[in-house]
């Protein structure tokens, strides 16, 4: 029972890997880079890399190996770090920006008004 379950899982992992390879070929074959920003493009490939590494990790586990003994563990950590960097950049881009020109106008007008108020009181 357990052997049949493991072989089913292994065949499903192989199917996923084949589908991902087709996805990568289609992404590389088209001009997706022209349609996406650099950040979106990086996110797509980081996600694909993470998926491949995860599948490889699972396959090593299914084969009874310790994935920590294989480079896939380091690759997973490296891709996680890249994904964290991408998310940090995306969060930074979403922060509100200050319109410096408008801010200068407001400060200048406020200081001019307060200076004229002070001089009119004297």
Report which DSSP code applies to 65: -
In a domain, 50, yes or no: yes
The single residue listed with the structure tokens 């960097």 is 85
In a domain, 49, yes or no: yes
Q: Model-level pTM? A: 0.58
For 44, the domain range is 2-97
With a cut of 80, say whether residue 113 has pLDDT above it: no
Number of domains in the chain: 1
Mean pLDDT (whole number) for 68-90 = 89
Mean pLDDT (whole number) for 66-83 = 89
* Average per-residue pLDDT for the chain: 80
27-36 burial by CB neighbour count: b if 16+ within 10 A, else e?
A: eeeeeeeeee
Mean pLDDT (whole number) for 50-65 = 85
In a domain, 79, yes or no: yes
In a domain, 111, yes or no: no
Report which DSSP code applies to 95: S
With a cut of 80, say whether residue 46 has pLDDT above it: yes
Cα-based distances in Å from 50 to 39, 46, 77, 92, 94: 16, 6, 9, 23, 24
């Amino acid at each position: 029972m357990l052997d049949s379950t493991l072989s089913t899982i292994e065949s499903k992992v192989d199917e996923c890997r084949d589908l991902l390879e087709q996805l990568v070929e289609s992404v590389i074959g088209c001009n997706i880079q022209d349609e996406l920003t650099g950040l979106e493009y990086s996110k797509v490939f980081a996600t694909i890399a993470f998926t491949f590494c995860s599948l490889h990790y699972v396959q090593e586990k299914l084969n009874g190996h310790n994935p920590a003994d294989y480079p896939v563990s380091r690759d997973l950590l490296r891709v996680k770090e890249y994904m964290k960097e991408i998310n940090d950049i995306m969060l930074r881009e979403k922060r509100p920006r200050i319109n410096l020109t408008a801010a200068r106008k407001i400060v200048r007008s406020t200081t001019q008004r307060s200076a004229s108020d002070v001089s009119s009181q004297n």
